[in-house]
Structure 1
């Protein structure tokens, strides 16, 4: 990740190069950029009020002082900074900083410079449910996410926060010991569940055909919900795409851009057309008349028209939940419990739990760095396969 401090260093280097090479200055007769008057130090970013309260800008405040050709380069660098993390991550960072700075403002405190004692009080308020606007106390996972967001935001401002400081680490350890709960994993949808869920979708509407393709590709590919909706029909077709599909005789190749780089996922043909991801995809593309751009789009006009906009990833979670409830998956639970069990990750966990192949193939398919991470997704597959009670002689 390109941090704000690193970008400021890059910016100052560009300024020094421009100062040492007069021929690189703006053309004669051009207007002097603001902030270049004598006696004003423009080699150091000057934090603005917006930078103190909101998500920091990836450019220093005086970027207009650059010569025109370097200003264009700085604009490109800003674009790279913005795509260094996903849109969801940036939204979470911004939301958590707003939550923290709002709490500081109500206490009459300034969030800058970073104070471990202040952050320790803040996470205590989050754990006790005394932050105005929160309906209840934050969970441990939420507090840890907020703390990570604060560290990131402070780093972008060039004032790092050490989360290992004793004022923070000790309070956080106490919060974990007091409030930590076992992890709540989403229920895996298994092949028989997928078949039942497909029966709940209307094959006579474009929305139903789209949803069938999303469920089958998401399950067979072990894809995250953002990866499903981030797909394009082909390579380099949209700026916000996260991958594309290539249809072959024996299946399709899904190329994905993830946190650690690009990877390819092979999705083979199914044993029957009704459950084949490739057939579902080709049917959707043909009847929706999609040949370029986002693969999965909004269906409008009472289900008869397909819009140009890419589907939001939250729609995948809603689809899985709605179809699982309609199909009666985990009917042994109450309606409220079942509603909490299913989400987009149920597809990914379902493949990991049901694919009867060597674990290494599942790990590579899901793009996991370790086998341990893959095992976390295997909800039922290995339970009691090895019985140490009998092996011990009982």
Structure 2
């Protein structure tokens, strides 16, 4: 699910000791640099050009071990925790289970007027702290009573069912693509919506596609267009997988045809599939689209097409996100559940069911099967 940005804490009152603040900021900066730069030669090994290049490559691999969005989130988690520690007159290093437990308590029940965070966000913050401490060679024990018991209590007292985004149903996606123009930008956006829907793709998977294998260093996969449809090879969060998108019943709603039209008129035969266009919308540029464009596109076309017009505009915007495409496919494809699970790249059928907003929950009736 998509995460929403939390309100930033209020600015602290200025300390009476400016020299202490300056010293503390310097120490935090040095520690942060040390944590973000964990790969180095052993002290007893002399440096050389070859070894230095290996160190740089090792740093690149270490950075690539987690997604860029995850790296940014973990960096923000550490910055927030370090600032909270400073306000409490303590140091984030070495790790203190007691202080981490108090920090989690503060997030769940703040006393400074800021809104409490959801249990999922608190879990994510703790994961960010655990990752940062591990990078600094000082791992924390999440099962320590000061951490584990507090988190268990927070879950028991504050946990709520997840808020799910609305699924985009077949009639919705048809209405959304119908409101797009037939200029170059419209062809691109139509291909994005239809491909994302038919493939059950995440928004990051959509924009990370290249035309061919190994076209760009930041590629997240590539496409192969065949007579029967398109095969997408994706490097997703769960590993490499292939997604097959068959041709539709009409060209108007066929995702493969929409892809072909966009690539043809945009004159794209190498590099990113979905790129920005010039201001007048008549020329395709080189820059890859951001995944945020997919979310904005969904919200814009939802409004233009009149979906859920019974609700105020802000409520309609809040109902839909990039995940609405995946939820739409999972909710609408009337095939065996295992095929939907494979298409979405889920490790379990239970995860797939979370995306199914409408399904026959009683297709398998265990009550009757038990002879009752």
Residue 145 of structure 2 is aligned to residue 174 of structure 1: no
CA displacement 1:224-256 (0-9 Å, x = unmatched): 010000000111010111000011011011000
- Mapped partners of 2:48, 2:224: distance in 1: 44
Q: 1:108-147 to 2 correspondence within 5 Å?
A: 108-130=89-111, 135-147=114-126
Corresponding residue for residue 313 of structure 2? 335
Query: In the alignment, is the contact (CA less than 8 A) between 2:165 and 2:320 conserved in 1?
Result: yes
Post-superposition Cα deviations, 1:265-295, rounded to whole Å, max 9, x if no partner, equal 1001010000001111111111111111111
| Residue 211 (structure 1) aligns with | 189
Out of 16, 20, 31, the position equivalent to 1:51 is: 31
- Which residues in structure 2 correspond to 1:66-215 (within 5 Å)? 66-130=47-111, 135-203=114-182, 205-215=183-193
Gaps in structure 2 of 5+ consecutive residues = 1-26
Pick from 17, 32, 40: which aligns with 1:60? Answer: 40
Q: Give me the whole-angstrom Cα distance separating, in 1, the residues matched to 2:148 and 2:99.
A: 13
**Distance change >3 Å, CA 306–CA 113, structure 1 → 2:** same
Q: Distance in 2 between matches of 1:54 and 1:212?
A: 46
By how many angstroms is 1:109 displaced?
Answer: 1.1
Paired residues of 1:353 and 1:378 also in contact (CA < 8 A): yes
Distance in 1, Cα, partners of 2:181 & 2:32: 51
| Equivalent residues, number | 345
Gaps of 5+ in 1: 1-46
Give the TM-score, by structure 2 length.
Answer: 0.86
Q: Aligned with 1:274: secondary structure?
A: coil
> CA RMSD for the aligned pairs?
2.4
Residue 380 of structure 1 is matched in structure 2 by 358
1:297 matches 2:275 = yes
Distance 2:34 2:356 in 1: 40
> Alpha-carbon deviations, 1:317-348, whole Å to 9, x = none?
11112212222223343333221110000001
Tell which has more relative contact order, 1 or 2 (C-alpha 8 A, sep 6+). 2
Structure label with greater radius of gyration: 1
Residue 73 to residue 248, structure 1, CA distance change in 2 (3 Å): same
